[in-house]
Amino acid sequence: MGIQPVILDHPLIQHKISLMRDKNTGSKEFRELITEVTMLMCFEATRDLPLKEVEIETPIALAKTKVISGRKLAFVPILRAGMGMLDGVLKLLPAAKVGHIGLYRDPDTHLPVEYYCKLPSDISERDVIVIDPMLATGGSAIDAISQVKKRGVKSIKFMCIIAAPEGLEALTAAHPDVPVYIAALDERLNESKYIVPGLGDAGDRIYGTK
Ligand SMILES: O=P(O)(O)OC[C@H]1O[C@H](OP(=O)(O)OP(=O)(O)O)[C@H](O)[C@@H]1O
Ligand SMILES: O=c1cc[nH]c(=O)[nH]1
Ligand SMILES: [Mg+2]
């Protein structure tokens, strides 16, 4: 049994995901919503970032106050749809490095096919958050996290917007040490391994490719 997933069902997140699910929401609005949802999720997924005390002079007095300590972070979006979440996390943590893993699901087998992998050279010294809006069978997330582990990374989290129970079970079985942050846990997968009710193909909705 792995770490229990964190379901981030804040009303603001639920509201924005409802708009994302609507098939009449176009790419421009979809991209804005995915950025907003990601920022709200990142707020919670980074709750354990360590702080250090600093002294700052306010216009009134010297203050002992806190800033994020020099802990190194990297975000790893799974291409393509994971790129939709990148703006949101970088708005909050602009100094983080970014690695890219390109995977697509084979339309017949539904298994992930890797076509790109470029990770920061110092990734093994970093805390990594892998991002992808959709966790369906779990194959893509499992492969991406394995790639990151192969580089010696010790601290990995996975953040997705919508998950199917099947994918969540597979991911926690394969990587029981990886905390998972989800905004919505949906009902099931359909025969084409799409999440029901889901929001369709996230990459197509972000980039207008359908
Ligand atoms: O859990 P899984 O069954 O592996 O499915 C989830 C994957 O499917 C989607 O990518 P897709 O293959 O559509 O590629 P794209 O992002 O380029 O559209 C999604 O962004 C995930 O990466
Ligand atoms: O429902 C799904 C499943 C996989 N990938 C998507 O983008 N959507
Ligand atoms: Mg897609």
The pLDDT value given to residue 103: 97
pTM (global) more than 0.90: yes
Task: Kindly state if the Cβ of 198 falls inside 6 Å of ligand 2.
Answer: yes
Task: Kindly state if the Cβ of 166 falls inside 6 Å of ligand 2.
Answer: no
Residue 134's alpha-carbon distances to 121, 152, 157, in angstroms, are 27, 25, 15
SS3 182: strand
Catalytic, 65? Answer no
Distance 91 CA to ligand 3 centre (A): 24
Report whether 111 belongs to an annotated binding site. no
Phi and psi (nearest 5°) for 119?
-120, 150
Closest ligand 1 atom to the C-alpha of 143? 4
Given a cut of 90, is residue 70 above it in pLDDT? no
SS3 2: coil
Beta strands in 82-164 (DSSP E): 97-98, 100-105, 112-118, 127-131, 134-135, 155-163
Catalytic, 188? Answer no
Given a cut of 80, is residue 129 above it in pLDDT? yes
Task: Kindly state if the Cβ of 205 falls inside 6 Å of ligand 1.
Answer: no
Helices (H), the chain: 11-21, 27-45, 86-92, 139-150, 165-174, 202-207
Report the alpha-carbon distance of residue 66 to residue 105 in Å, rounded. Answer: 44
Given a cut of 80, is residue 71 above it in pLDDT? no
Report whether 165 belongs to an annotated binding site. no
pLDDT tens per residue across span 140-179: 999 999 999 999 999 999 999 999 999 999 999 999 999 9
* pLDDT bracket for residue 7 (50, 70, 90): very high
The pLDDT value given to residue 87: 98
* Catalytic member of 109, 177, 188, 209: 109
The pLDDT value given to residue 1: 58
Cβ-based neighbour number of residue 169 at 10 Å:
13
Task: Kindly state if the Cβ of 126 falls inside 6 Å of ligand 1.
Answer: no
Report the alpha-carbon distance of residue 62 to residue 194 in Å, rounded. Answer: 56
